[in-house]
Each structure stands twice: as C-alpha cells, then as structure tokens.
Amino acid sequence: MMLDPVVGVLIVGCIAILLASAGAHKLRDLRRFDEIFAAYGVIPGIAKLRLSRLLPILEIGLAVGILVNESRPFAGVAVIALVLGYAAAIEINLRRGRRDLACGCGGPDDRRPIAPWMVWRNIVVSVAAALSLFPWSARPLGPMDGVTIIFGLMTVSLLYLCVDLLLGDVARRTAQLRGGR
C-alpha cells in the first residue's frame, strides 16, 4: 500500500500538532505535571520525576522527528510506543477504579478525569502513526495539494479539539455524579 503524499503530510502534520501542543502544555507547569504523572502509580521510585521531566521534551522531539523523512520511521515507532504507553497507564488506573485521576492531556490547568474514551483516542492516534510508516508515492505536490493540506490540518485539529472537549466534559460530569452519590 502506498500513501498519497497529501494523506501522508496530513497524518504526520496532525500527529506533530498533537505532540507539540501536548509537550508545550506540560512544559507550562512541570511541577504540576510531575504530580499528575506520579499519581498514575505505574512507574516506581525516582524514575517518576526524571521521566516526567523528559516526556514533554520527547513529545516535542517526536513532533519534529515525524515530519522529517529520514527520522520518520524511528519517530513513528516511538510515537506508537509513547501513545500506547499512555493508553496502558490510563487503562491500568481505570481497572484500579481510579477514575478521579487527572489525565494530564490538556496541561496543568486541566483537571479532566481519565475515561475509557481516552484509551480509544490513543489507539486511534497510534494507528495514524502506524499509517505514516507506509511508503508514500512519489507524486509531486501541487498548489491545490497545499490548500488541501492546510484546510485538512485545520479541519482535523478543530474536530479533534471539539471531540476532546465534548468527551472531556462528559467525563467531568460523570465524575461529579459519581462523587455526589
């Protein structure tokens, strides 16, 4: 299977936007992200602090890496591992009944509790990263391709934001109802 270069650019562009914004959100308040990361309780001891400090830098590095042809295979595999690692951490804590944990997705000010839909979201992102690893056709890009890419990136970004806000609000309200019992 060969990807059309427009589809490939859309996939890697969307992943890069997602990772760069996630890393930037975490860098805004590293102390708070350390607390959120530690609360998941999936990595023992001192490694928690060091790893939580490296994750935002890793996310931003992978955002750049997935855009570059030469580093895309490595970055794509690393994105898959990272995003599935996040999904696993969420799933482990959901199974533990710890639905009150902050997801850590929207930065230090976002107290959105974890929810099952976040696991599925991360699986979808990992599938997109896997698709970016397929070979791309050598078709040259034209001016209309540029327009398609720009509007495609805006559309997917806005759709992701809307779904994320909507499902995040549902998760918040569900958590409030559970706490009210």
Higher pLDDT, 68 or 42: 68
| CA-to-CA dists, residue 23 to 34, 146, 172, angstroms | 13, 26, 23
- pLDDT tens digits along 3-37: 999 999 999 999 999 999 999 988 888 888 888 88
pLDDT of residue 45: 67
- pLDDT tens digits along 114-169: 889 999 999 999 999 999 999 999 999 999 999 999 999 999 999 988 988 888 77
- pLDDT tens digits along 73-119: 999 999 999 999 999 999 999 999 988 888 887 666 667 788 899 99
Residues whose CB is less than 8 angstroms from the CB of residue 30 and which lie 6 or more positions away in sequence, other chains included: 52, 53, 56
CA-CA-CA-CA torsion sign (91, 93, 98, 103): negative
Using pLDDT thresholds of 50, 70 and 90, give the confidence band for residue 49.
low
pLDDT of residue 179: 67
H-type alpha helices, 40-142: 47-65, 72-95, 116-131
Average pLDDT over residues 44-65: 84
Using pLDDT thresholds of 50, 70 and 90, give the confidence band for residue 181.
very low
pLDDT of residue 127: 97
